[in-house]
Chains A and B, each alone.
Chain A
């Protein structure tokens, strides 16, 4: 436990600025051409995002394994298709660790095979070099929005799981049946309890899960697939 804990150090102005950029979005840029790496990074940083560049997918994956602490915020990966060491599919597999980051492929040629490979690898967009600055930034913005959405969904799921853990066995049974559309009377008959007790369990469960209406409750149960 002690090893995993992030090391403490004084917070600098640069850290604050970086935290602000990361909050807007962090773009991981992978291209083996130094000129391309540099200028796309400049463009992305001018837009107010944070940008990390890597010459190869392997270099990027190595830093991933080091599990360095990161500032919170949405994230996406911008990657050239024709990389000498790892292809897009392989990268996507390795990115399972990095699951909130959508992948955008950039290609030097408009080969249909490359595009198919890219989308199969789970790319959200496929850009052809030379890329117009607006097109590139739009794709980045879209991918970051998707990342935010995924992160929010994941956070929400974490909260709901914590709340679900508070439910008793009987309360869980009752709301499952509610979600299936059974009336209080039917639930009481099925569980061998009086209708009043059913209402009581139901009320408790809704309070614990912090839902206001039956509709909300049903949606939550469906979502968590209880």
Chain B
């Protein structure tokens, strides 16, 4: 006696339980319906194999149950692969197929009393199931480039051949249909089953490993893309700030010249005073201390202007902090005051702005304001009344900053297209200022809209979420 197929079935049973549990444990974080079907199928194989192995010591019904279990195992694994391939797989189908198999098998066994007929039906059903398993596995391999699925398919293709071979030899009457033979065919079938069970379970685990690896790579690529976008957006906002400052440089130069002019004259007066003191009596000397104080204060004034410019232009990553809007707005207005004065535009601030705190990047927020204010100043060129009014209010958890001007307002076309990149009403404009400002506002969880006021003139409304615990 070379080999007893019953031993093979016992091995097969034990191995199937172990592998099903192993997969169940390894994939604990991602138990989709596919995993349920697969592991359930594994347990069904184990049950079926055990029933087959112990057929001699169990009641005769064990034979039908064993065959049913093996069919259920194949059908469940087909369902599992269908799920992996993105197809629907309801349990009704599994139950229906299994019942059909059981009914036909029982009828053939109990009614016809021809052993070979039900045996052949069983083998034919298993062959069909293996063909389906091969088909779905290879489809998975081809459609999703999962190489583990190829090995599953190969394993089931081998099983298909084995079952076909067995079907042919039994049908031709060369071998006895009893599964528990000790012949070479039973040996080969048992060995093949074990090997294919190992390959298919490894392959199934492989599918999930490949999937999670590629998911990680996709996530990493997405993050890299997001970081690149962030960097580009920062560069773009930086460029916009530089362009802004370039356009304002003449008026800022004038602004800076004022304290310098005052410093020069103060210093020259002191110089003259000292010369006079040296030549005549000291009583005539001018009060030098006062002039020196003025030199100091004007130097501070000049350096504040430079500091404001530097703070606006310095390239830096987005950096959110708690900001008091009612303090930031007047600071920004100081930066653009020279430009407004040069264009004879009066900027007025609402005298009682409520204290509102928001979480934002101060430079980028200043940038929005500068863009909007410069837009308004340019819109006022040629207008009879040249005034800009800024007000601040709170509306349902949002800070609302309103900038009204007394210009002609926006044309219908401008209203429709405002915020589109490269749309500009000015011949010299790049058309990026408002687009960038709107992007910044959106990044801060708010928005920026430009409309016309009912009484004439344009209104820019900047809405930003208030910081938690405000007021």
Contact = CB atoms under 8 A, between A and B. Distances in A.
Contacts of A85: 344
Name the residue in B250, B258, B261, B263 with the highest tally of chain A Cβ atoms < 10 Å from its Cβ.
Answer: B261
Interface string A150-190: 00000000000000000000000000000000000000000
Interface in A81-97: 82, 84-85
B250 to A, nearest CB: 6
A11 B435 CA distance: 68
Interface string B256-268: 0111111111101
Interface string A18-49: 00000000000000110110111011001000
Interface in B330-378: 341-342, 344, 346
B269 A129 contact: no
Contacts of B291: 39
Interface residues of B, number: 25
A133 B265 contact: yes
Nearest to A86: B344
B272 A35 contact: no
A109 B259 contact: no
A42 B287 CA distance: 11
A111 B257 CA distance: 14
B148 interface: no
A82 B272 contact: no
A132 B264 CA distance: 7
Given A109-B250, A130-B264, A36 B258 contact: yes
Interface string A102-123: 0000001101000000000000
B294 interface: yes
A40 B346 CA distance: 26
Contacts of B341: 32, 82, 84
B253 A109 contact: yes
Nearest to B342: A82
A133 B257 contact: no
B259 A35 contact: yes
Contacts of A109: 250, 253-254, 257
Contacts of A108: 253-254, 257-258, 261
A211 interface: no
Interface of A is mostly: loop
Nearest to B260: A130
A118 to B, nearest CB: 15
Name the residue in A35, A42, A46 with the highest tally of chain B Cβ atoms < 10 Å from its Cβ.
Answer: A35
Interface of B is mostly: helix
Contacts of B344: 84-85
Contacts of B301: 35
A39 B263 CA distance: 9
B62 interface: no
B286 interface: yes
A179 to B, nearest CB: 52
B67 interface: no
A131 interface: yes
Contacts of B259: 35
A39 B291 CA distance: 9
B254 A43 contact: no
Interface string B280-312: 000000100001001000100100000000000
Nearest to B256: A108
Contacts of A36: 258, 261-262
Interface string B20-49: 000000000000000000000000000000
Interface string A126-151: 00011111001000000000000000
Contacts of B264: 130-133
Contacts of B342: 82
Contacts of B265: 39-40, 43, 130-131, 133, 136
Nearest to A108: B254
B294 A39 contact: yes
B258 A129 contact: yes
Interface in A38-93: 38-40, 42-43, 46, 82, 84-85
25 contacts: A33-B258, A33-B262, A35-B294, A36-B258, A38-B294, A39-B266, A39-B269, A39-B294, A40-B265, A43-B268, A46-B272, A46-B286, A82-B254, A82-B342, A84-B341, A84-B344, A85-B344, A108-B253, A108-B254, A108-B258, A108-B261, A109-B253, A130-B264, A131-B261, A132-B264
Given A39-B262, A85-B344, A108-B253, 16 more contacts: A32-B341, A35-B262, A42-B269, A43-B268, A46-B269, A46-B286, A82-B254, A82-B342, A84-B341, A108-B257, A108-B258, A130-B257, A130-B261, A130-B265, A131-B261, A133-B272
